[in-house]
Structure 1
């Protein structure tokens, strides 16, 4: 049976605000994410429908706090909470937060392509 752990999954994203480790497990990607700084990545979702993340996520907050913002509500989760973030959200993450999150690989890939494009544009100074 396929499995992954934070310790055996290589670092794929290493930014000042985020360390991310990702492994594919049967059509889903498990992400082990640790946020070193407060993060409001809303601008990185530009270009997706409604400029919001359209990928669903199931996760557990291991430490810290994450808030998901939809057009009509917000939901906040803390250490020990399990969550389901439906499409159409924007995350807001506190420094010191660690999550284990499962996402459909195809939908996550589409989202990450938009995020990577927006990151490249920001790094190039294009707005």
Structure 2
């Protein structure tokens, strides 16, 4: 088994108001720590993926803020203190300054992160 803290996980993406840290923790899973300022919309960075949505499932905990999650079926809002499962096919937007930790299959997560990095240039 492997464990990591937010500070130990390497930064894999940093842009204006966004920081993503991720670390493989074993069993084909990675932990991802995200900080995003209010107004951050990941929709544009997901353009080019099927339906313009993230194709990686995530199990997580929203530690701070509020997130609107758009899917083909509509929208849901998540608030600090909630745990969640987001299936493939979603696009998050930070309605407040937000921080979360989530667990995802490493291969799928790496594919989405590579796409987002390329979109952000």
TM surpasses 0.5? yes
Question: 1:18 deviation in Å?
Answer: 0.7
- In structure 1, the residue matched to 2:67 is 66
Q: Which has the higher strand share?
A: 2
Aligned residues: 120
- In structure 2, the residue matched to 1:23 is 23
Q: TM-score, normalised by structure 2?
A: 0.91
Spell out, residue by residue over 1:81-113, the C-alpha distance to the aligned partner (whole angstroms, 9 max, x if none). Answer: 000001111111134200001111111111122
Q: TM-score, normalised by structure 1?
A: 0.87
Greater mean deviation of Cα atoms: 67-76 or 54-63: 67-76
TM-align CA RMSD: 1.3
Structure 2 unmatched runs, 5+: none
Which SS does the other structure have where 1:118 is aligned?
helix
Which SS does the other structure have where 1:101 is aligned?
strand
> Rg: which structure is higher?
1
| Cα 1:73–1:90 shift into 2, 3 Å | same
- In structure 2, the residue matched to 1:91 is 92
8 A contact 2:58–2:103 mirrored in 1: yes
Cα distance between partner residues in 1 of 2:38 and 2:21: 17
8 A contact 2:37–2:94 mirrored in 1: no
8 A contact 2:13–2:117 mirrored in 1: no
